[in-house]
Chains A and B, each alone.
Chain A
């Protein structure tokens, strides 16, 4: 018996002003798996993540997440499925009116069902895991970019969500911290068996974390396959992007270089 996918996008189209960002994408992510999304800038990677979280609505197609159709739903009706999702935003989206500790505690406080002591213990454990013990009472404005990113990761993973979305989890971090973060995310995913979808520009580091990678280009998925073999993908555009070569059929590179 086949298990229903946690994420199922069917012929999803999204247009911003006159630009088709997604041109009929179909994508499935199985329960407990890790999928990485890569592609040139403005290829629609973050848009897919926002569609999955119900933060954007597509112009056409269907977006099914954790068994719930997200399209055409009112905000209030999306609450139940959003409580089962953890999300790290590209620009952190930390609440600057709260301390580090309260930012991480926020999802647990709002969800209810835990005592204050249980929340405090869970938050302390998460902050230790991301290397931010001792920063509990700082405001987010007092943190560096890397520290903000780690607070965002702690907040996204604190509630042991069934689906975790990472938008650039290691952008702006040094290689050692990047590896530490991916080790942490990996250990978390093994513990919680959550489904993970992650966007990153650091293809090599991402490939070490995810099982599969999908390559987005001009609103379409050009490649989907094992992360380990993406550098040898049959499509020359995918190979050029992953290998970082200037010469090749990738239009954005040729245009930017000229």
Chain B
């Protein structure tokens, strides 16, 4: 009997995940269809680029600075012990550009922008604003979802690039201030050992992460059921789905192209 319940619960969970993945795929198809030929409201696009990008800069800068600083701080005692100060920048830069930067910034972005986007769209759905648009012969996907998806993807790439630079600066500041490694040693440690691909891999990842955050946050927003309780559940589901997607995509992208 307990076994039956367990199988039923696993089956129901599997069905729910399949339904949600299917829903995200259908919405992705609708977004692509709205892009060819482009049917994008420019005013909505500019508004979202500003709201999602510019307003995220302070939190991303803060997070990235300490991420870079932490890398050097953790590696510091070993670098000192083995006299390998010329590799301190390489270690920090490699980890930040390829992994820590894109993942940390994507998770921060998901928590700040993705959750907010889901809450906004979900509230609009439960208050019939999406039906209001449809009644005025306006496609809610083209008008509301597409600008948000584009804005999230563009801005996450831009914020990741900015975050990479700030993280490297954070690594240099801590190396100089706390480990007494001079600026030029750190600079050469970055410049002589890191390759453009280390930076590009992080950017490729941020494109994929941006798409995952955008699609999951928009899907759970427009597919919400119920009132305020439904909105809360939608935000929760969107954040969890985005975090899981980020980890899965990171693994596969690293495995396939990042070796």
Q: Which residues of B lie under 8 Å from residue A75 when comparing CB positions?
A: 134, 139
Indicate if the CB atoms of A82 and B128 lie closer than 8 Å: no
Please determine whether A96 and B124 come into contact, CB atoms closer than 8 angstroms. Answer: yes
Check if A55 sits within 8 Å of B135, measured CB to CB.
yes
**Interface with B: A22-30, A84-92, A216-224, which one?**
A84-92
What residues on A are CB-neighbors of B129 within 8 Å?
Answer: 93-96
A110→B136 contact, CB < 8 A: yes
> In the assembly, what is the distance between CA of A107 and CA of B136, in Å?
6
The answer to whether B132 and A93 touch across the interface, beta carbons within 8 angstroms, is yes
Cross-chain contact A55 with B136 (CB below 8 angstroms): no
State which residues 40-60 of A face B: CB under 8 Å: 50, 53-55
Given contacts A89-B132, A93-B132, contact A83 B127 (CB under 8 A): no
Interface centre among A54, A79, A93, A95 (most CB of B within 10 A): A93
From the candidates A50, A79, A91, A96, name the one contacting B137 in the complex (CB within 8 A).
A79
Once the chains are docked, how many angstroms separate the CA of A76 from the CA of B33? Answer: 12
Interface membership of B131, Cβ < 8 A = yes
For A237, what are the chain B residues with a Cβ–Cβ distance below 8 Å? none
Residues of B within 8 A of A91 (CB): 127-128
Determine if B17 is an interface residue (Cβ-Cβ < 8 Å).
no
Main secondary structure of the interface of A (DSSP, over half): mixed
User: Do residues B134 and A110 form an inter-chain contact, with CB atoms below 8 A?
Assistant: no
Instruction: Check B244 for interface membership: any CB of A closer than 8 A.
Output: no
**Cβ contact within 8 Å between B127 and A96:** yes
Instruction: Give residues 111-134 of B contacting A (CB, 8 Å).
Output: 123-124, 127-129, 131-134
Name the A residues within 8 Å of B135 (CB-CB).
53, 55, 82, 85, 87, 89, 93
Decide yes or no whether A78 CB sits under 8 A from chain B. yes
CA distance in complex: A95, B136 (Å): 12
Asked if B138 CB lies within 8 Å of chain A CBs, one says yes
**What is the CB-to-nearest-CB distance from B106 to chain A, in angstroms, rounded to a whole number?**
26
CB proximity of A218 to chain B, nearest CB, Å? 25
What 8 A-B pairs have minimum CB-CB distances, sorted nearest first?
A93-B132, A79-B137, A93-B128, A82-B137, A87-B135, A83-B137, A89-B128, A55-B131
